Amino acid sequence: MAPNYYNQDNDDNRSYQKTVAMCVAAASLVILLFLVVLYVNSDSPKKTDAAKTESVKTEEEDDILEDSHNITSDELEFWKDEKKPTSAPVEEEEGELTPYKDPSAEEKEKETESSSSDKEKPKHDIETEGEGSLNRDNKEDTGDKEGYIAIEDEKGSKKYYEIISDVPKNDYDLGESLTNENGFLTYKDSKRESVRGVDLSKYNGTVDFTKLKENGIGFAMLRLGSRGYGTGNITLDEKFVEYAQNAQLSGIQIGAYFYSQAINESEAVEEANYIVGAVSSFNVKYPIAIDIERVKGDEARTDKLTSEERTKVVKTFCDAVKGYGYKPIIYATKEMLVAGLDLGDLADYDIWLADENVPTDFPYRFSMWQYSTKGRIDGITGDIDFDISFIDYEKR
């Protein structure tokens, strides 16, 4: 059959048209790509600047986070007080920043620290402000109400209590017969001469009793144990046995005291039995004391005792100790003796007064006196409690 040239031409035309269309499409694509490249290149500087800015911010945040690891808990205290300003930190030297701190908050912190330091041990062992030397000028001004004794509370305000006529009074001449030699008090009149003493607990650490004896110490009142003011558990002072043995080897007479937190007569008997049992292996010639104190800065199991209830506890303890053949004595501050106990019901028992006002204005009879909690003496490192006894219990 002869070839069909017409049809062949039509095929060639269609092929040509396809080729042209493909070329046009390819050219269009190239142009489009070129335009896209131009557009992208023209926008890249802006994106680079933005990226750089973002990088700087990230580095700054990293620096802040790194610095925050060095912030102390004290510097974060601001969140506790909603009334504190939210102003910007104040710049200090070398570019350091510190948060704003309300001066009143610092005062509160000092008061809290002061009060929490009293929680660990009773008054015998609590550290107080001031030097170890005695100051005769710090006596309270109680002469403005004759027939009354002034008691100052923690806030400095005074309350006046009428001096009870039926309670035996002391006959000491603390103006003429009391002398102070290098921080040691001595009392001597026509009737009596005081004996120099100390009182000790585990908080006094290592004690050289030989040196105490060489410095004129004649007796030592040793803390035997205590009852927890929260738990009510009785514990033995870990230094009692060591102190008692070494004191007697050095020729120093000993007595003992128990820090009481008894809330009833049954617990008072328990405390008396405990201390008498523990001292029975020693030659104890000085008194066995019940230590009655208020717990400052915390709640105590004895807080709600009335004066009558507290007096019954003390009397029960003293009766039990006396029943075993020992000499009972009541250790307490002037405030506790005047405001916290009924001394009329306790007139048969000796008093061990704790009062750092020299001379004391305590009007009632007392046999021993703790006059300093900041004494210094060779043989003990740090502060020690100084006492004098107006009775030589070794000869009594």
pLDDT attached to residue 156: 80
Give me the pLDDT at residue 327, please.
Answer: 98
50-59, 83-92, 213-222: range with lowest mean pLDDT: 83-92
**Domain assignment present for 262:** yes
The phi and psi torsions of 155 (rounded to 5 degrees) equal -90, 0
Of the listed ranges 56-65, 172-181, 230-239, 295-304, the one predicted with least confidence:
56-65
| 292: in domain | yes
Whether 111 is covered by a domain: the verdict is no
316, 310 Cβ separation under 8 angstroms? no
Q: For the chain, what percentages of helix, strand and coil (3-state, to nearest 5) are there?
A: 40, 20, 40
Same domain, 232 and 362: yes
Checking DSSP bridges between strand 195-200 and strand 384-389, what pairing results, if any? antiparallel
Q: Identify whether 198 is part of a domain.
A: yes
Whether the predicted model's global pTM rises above the 0.85 cut: no
Percent of the chain with pLDDT strictly greater than 90: 60
Res 51 pLDDT > 60? no
Q: Would 230 be classed as within a structural domain?
A: yes
Across 121-148, average pLDDT: 46
User: What's the mean pLDDT in 55-61?
Assistant: 39
249-266 tens-digit pLDDT? 999 999 999 999 999 999
Pinpoint the alpha helices (H) of the chain. Answer: 5-68, 103-116, 209-214, 240-249, 265-279, 307-323, 334-335
Look at 305 and 141; give whichever has higher pLDDT: 305
pLDDT at 96 over 50: no
Say if residue 16 is in the same domain as residue 149.
Answer: no
29 and 169 in a single domain? The answer is no
CATH number at residue 380: 3.20.20.80
Assess whether 147 and 287 both reside in one domain.
yes
- Confidence (pLDDT) at 112: 45
Residue 82: inside a domain, yes or no?
no
Report how far apart, in Å, the C-alpha atoms of 4 and of each of 12, 13, 18, 190 are. Answer: 13, 15, 22, 164
Residue 348 in domain: yes
How far from 166 is each of 49, 343, 346, 364, CA to CA, in Å? Answer: 96, 9, 11, 10
Do residues 141 and 15 share a domain? Answer: no
The single-letter DSSP state of residue 202 is: G
Residue 16 pLDDT grade (very low, low, confident, very high; cuts 50, 70, 90)? low
Contact (Cβ atoms closer than 8 angstroms) between residue 248 and residue 216: no
Amino acid identity, position 9: D
Render pLDDT for 153-179 as a digit per residue (tens, 0 to 9): 777 888 999 999 999 999 999 999 999
Over the range 265-281, which residues count as b (16 or more CB within 10 Å of their CB) and which as e?
bebbbebbebbbebbee
Number of compact structural domains in the chain = 2
Q: Is 357 exposed, middle or buried (0-12, 13-18, 19+ CB in 10 A)?
A: middle
**Does any domain span residue 381?**
yes
What local confidence, expressed as pLDDT, does residue 93 receive? 35
Predicted confidence (pLDDT) at residue 365 exceeds the cutoff of 70? yes
What's the mean per-residue pLDDT of the chain?
77
pLDDT in the model for residue 145? 79
Q: Are 289 and 153 members of one domain?
A: yes
- pLDDT reported for residue 17: 63
Q: What is the pLDDT of residue 14?
A: 57
Q: In this predicted model, which residue has the larger pLDDT, 185 or 3?
A: 185
Q: Label residue 40 by pLDDT band (50, 70, 90).
A: low
Read off the pLDDT of residues 284-342 as tens digits, 9 standing for 90 and up.
999 999 999 999 889 999 999 999 999 999 999 999 999 999 999 999 999 999 999 99
Domain that holds residue 220: 136-389
- Regarding whether 370 and 258 lie in a shared domain, the answer is yes
In single-letter form, the type of residue at position 257 comes to: Y
Q: Are residues 347 and 205 in the same domain?
A: yes
